[in-house]
Amino acid sequence: MARTTAGAAGARPTIRDIARVAGVSKASVSYALNDLPGVSAETRARIRATATELGWRPSAAARSLSRARAGAVGLAVARDLRLLEEEPYYMRFIAGMEGVLAREGLSLLLSVVPDVDAAVEVLRDWWGERRVDGVVLTDLRVDDPRVTLVAELGIPCAVRIGLDDRLPTGGRLAASLDPERQAFDAVVEHLLAQGHRRLARVSGPREFLHTRRRDVAWDTVTRSALGRAAPVVVADYTSEGGLAATRTLLARPERPTAVVFDNDVMAAAVVAEREALGVRVPEDLAVVAGEDSMLCRLASPAISCLQRDIVADGARSAEVLLEVVLDRVGPTRVSEAHRFVVRGTTAARAPG
């Protein structure tokens, strides 16, 4: 009805149609529509009007072929589905990327695979077929094969790293900085103020680079506050793993009075199973979660936790990626630090 020329669905107008209708050459159409010099103001306006009238949209494939740009970036999430189950993280991260990408007319390709090796294959395919102009890597592992790959193939890539992390040089790697180094400062300060002296931490798997970052932060801050580094038990982010690690800690002679968990699930599991563990929370055991979520908010007592702006993190990652992709050199983006949110699991207690 409205569309006069396009006709039935499927009959996409091309710049050739616009050129014919507007009485100019294809080249002029291209210049006009891409805001390039080479056409007079009137001609440009006429061409624009014609394009609108015909309902023209550029063909992504044709553009991609002639510009040698995919017009898309990829996010390959490498994470066990079991762990993904309670990960509100990614949808928020993606929503954050979205805003930045939309501004540049870029699409987002997403792949969710169980491990880094599968992710490497996805990256190889994406880049081999030039489906993406660059990729965002999350959940970096120690000696991550994805990082090796992107460096080798020269894939523009954005990662989140800590101040002290070393990345392979060369390649087209951009980083947004994760100021995780200060993550535990407020936590430990708060726990000390509450009278706690025997602190412990239940960490995520050591393969993750951010676990290592937290290791360093934990070591530094507890050493400076207590004279020696407080203990860490490694777990796997699952409720079972968190419970097992906590049992280990509670069985020690130097039984901790406060435990900091690297994620929300482990902390919530401990709070839920406090009776089975034989502790009152927070009276016998203060609990802090390394990530916030509904699990923390709906636990009773509600769980004190570290909080951060994940949507903003996604935006930061997209921004630094675009800079490498577009060969603009921009400053590294530093994300906001974690905020420590005090809730019921670290309420005041008598010094033990």
Partner DNA sequence: CTGAAAGCGCTTACAG
The footprint of DNA (CB under 7 A) covers 12, 14-16, 23-31, 33-34, 36-41, 43, 56-59, 61-63, 65-68
- In this complex, which beta carbon is closest to a second copy, that of residue 89 or of residue 184? 89
Report in angstroms how near the CB of residue 151 gets to DNA at its nearest.
23
- In this complex, which beta carbon is closest to DNA, that of residue 14 or of residue 111? 14
Pairing relation of β-strands 304-307 and 157-161? unpaired
Q: Which of 18, 51, 77, 279 binds a second copy (CB under 8 A)?
A: 77
By CB under 8 A, tell whether 268 contacts a second copy: yes
By CB under 8 A, tell whether 299 contacts a second copy: yes
By CB under 8 A, tell whether 64 contacts a second copy: yes
Q: Which does 26 bind (CB under 5 to 8 A by kind): a second copy, DNA, none?
A: DNA
By CB under 8 A, tell whether 36 contacts a second copy: no
Q: Which helix (H) or strand (E) holds 61?
A: helix 60-67
Q: Which of 34, 40, 224, 300 binds a second copy (CB under 8 A)?
A: 300
- In this complex, which beta carbon is closest to a second copy, that of residue 109 or of residue 234? 109
127/111 Cα distance (integer angstroms): 13
Gyration radius of the chain over CA positions: 26
189/179 Cα distance (integer angstroms): 18
By CB under 8 A, tell whether 126 contacts a second copy: yes
Q: Which helix (H) or strand (E) holds 304?
A: strand 304-307
157/320 Cα distance (integer angstroms): 9
Spatial CB neighbours of 227, under 8 Å, sequence gap ≥ 6: none
- Taking the alpha carbons at both ends of the chain, their separation in whole angstroms is 79
By CB under 8 A, tell whether 107 contacts a second copy: yes
- In this complex, which beta carbon is closest to a second copy, that of residue 232 or of residue 271? 271
Within 10 A of 39 (CB to CB), how many other CB atoms are there? 21
Report in angstroms how near the CB of residue 61 gets to a second copy at its nearest.
4
Report in angstroms how near the CB of residue 140 gets to a second copy at its nearest.
19
By CB under 8 A, tell whether 119 contacts a second copy: no
- In this complex, which beta carbon is closest to a second copy, that of residue 27 or of residue 84? 84
CA angle in degrees (0–180, nearest 5) for 145-150-155: 165
CA distances from 192 to 146, 224, 231, 259, 351 (A): 40, 12, 16, 12, 9
Report in angstroms how near the CB of residue 39 gets to a second copy at its nearest.
23
Which residues, listed in sequence order, are joined to residue 307 by a DSSP beta bridge? 339
Compute the 3-state secondary structure of the chain and give helix, strand, coil in percent, each to the nearest 5: 45, 15, 40
Return the range that interacts with a second copy (CB under 8 A); candidates 87-95, 187-195, 254-262, 320-328: 87-95
By CB under 8 A, tell whether 113 contacts a second copy: yes
40/219 Cα distance (integer angstroms): 66
CA distances from 52 to 5, 13, 48, 55, 82 (A): 11, 11, 6, 5, 48
Q: Which does 91 bind (CB under 5 to 8 A by kind): a second copy, DNA, none?
A: a second copy
Return the range that interacts with a second copy (CB under 8 A); candidates 36-44, 110-118, 229-237, 335-343: 110-118
- In this complex, which beta carbon is closest to DNA, that of residue 6 or of residue 311? 6
Q: Which of 27, 91, 163, 334 binds a second copy (CB under 8 A)?
A: 91
- In this complex, which beta carbon is closest to DNA, that of residue 38 or of residue 352? 38
Backbone phi, psi, residue 137, to 5°: -110, 130
Backbone phi, psi, residue 72, to 5°: -155, 155
Within 10 A of 338 (CB to CB), how many other CB atoms are there? 23
8 Å CB contact between 165 and 213? yes
Residues lying near a second copy in the complex (CB under 8 A) are found at 9-10, 12, 55, 57-62, 64-65, 70-72, 77, 81, 84-88, 90-92, 94-95, 98, 107-113, 125-126, 128-131, 152-154, 239, 265, 268-269, 272, 293-295, 297-300, 311
